[in-house]
Structure 1
Amino acid sequence: MGACVGCNRKKLIKMSLEKALEKRLTNEVKKMKGLALKFWCVSFTGFPDRVVLIPLGKIFFIEFKDTGKKLSKRQELVHKLLIKLGFQVWVIDTQELLTGFLNAAKG
């Protein structure tokens, strides 16, 4: 097996975890007959990675992070704004936190 020129092993592991979390979120939300939309806003930085829409008008904002990583100052500001507007914002960096979110969304 050859060396990966320019690859950062830590970054590859991070991407794998985040992809696994996002894939699980998307699959589980589909089972609830909801949508887990990947959201990217060019003119408004710091917005969470996913907007989750669950039947009966439930809306959640989900930010995926590498395990133990902190939000940027801009992300903190945007999350506080969304919370002030009455929305739930979840920062998920482990399978356990994702399970907690899914249980809360079902309830």
Structure 2
Amino acid sequence: MRERDIEKYLREQVKAAGGRAYKWVSPGNNGVPDRIVLLPGGRIAFVELKAPGKKPTALQVNQQRYIAGLGMPVMVADSKEGIDELLQQMQTQGGLPAWQ
């Protein structure tokens, strides 16, 4: 399975859950996670997608640590099962209140 297949699965599952999985491109900030996932109820997560068995680069790990240090959830997924776990966690955790 390729990374793009996992990314497509993420988009489909997030849409089915009533949310969005925005592609994140941040010029001048290499290594940011691939997607920002937003679910109803003010739930958000930054998601780095990888092909099965692949690991984030040192630059990606540094960006993930920075984002997590700001109190934002950052997750790495390398399988459809990982995406399912991510969405399960997002749907059952408290999440931040939606912006009014």
Would you call these one fold, judging by a TM-score over 0.5? yes
Question: Alignment partner of 1:53: what SS?
Answer: strand
Q: Secondary structure at 1:67's aligned position in 2?
A: coil
Unmatched runs of 5 consecutive residues or more in structure 2: 93-100
Gaps of 5+ in 1: 1-15
The one of 14, 32, 36 aligned to 1:51: 36
Structure-2-length-normalised TM-score: 0.84
The TM-score, its normalising length taken from structure 1, stands at: 0.79
Conserved? CA contact 2:9–2:80, under 8 Å? no
In percent, how many aligned pairs have the same letter?
35
Which residue in the other structure is 2:25 paired with?
40
State the distance in 1 between where 2:56 and 2:11 align. 22
Deviation at 1:62, TM superposition (A): 0.6
Q: 1:77 aligns to what?
A: 62
Q: How many residues align?
A: 92
Runs of 4+ in 1 over 4 A off after TM superposition: none
Structural RMSD (CA): 1.2
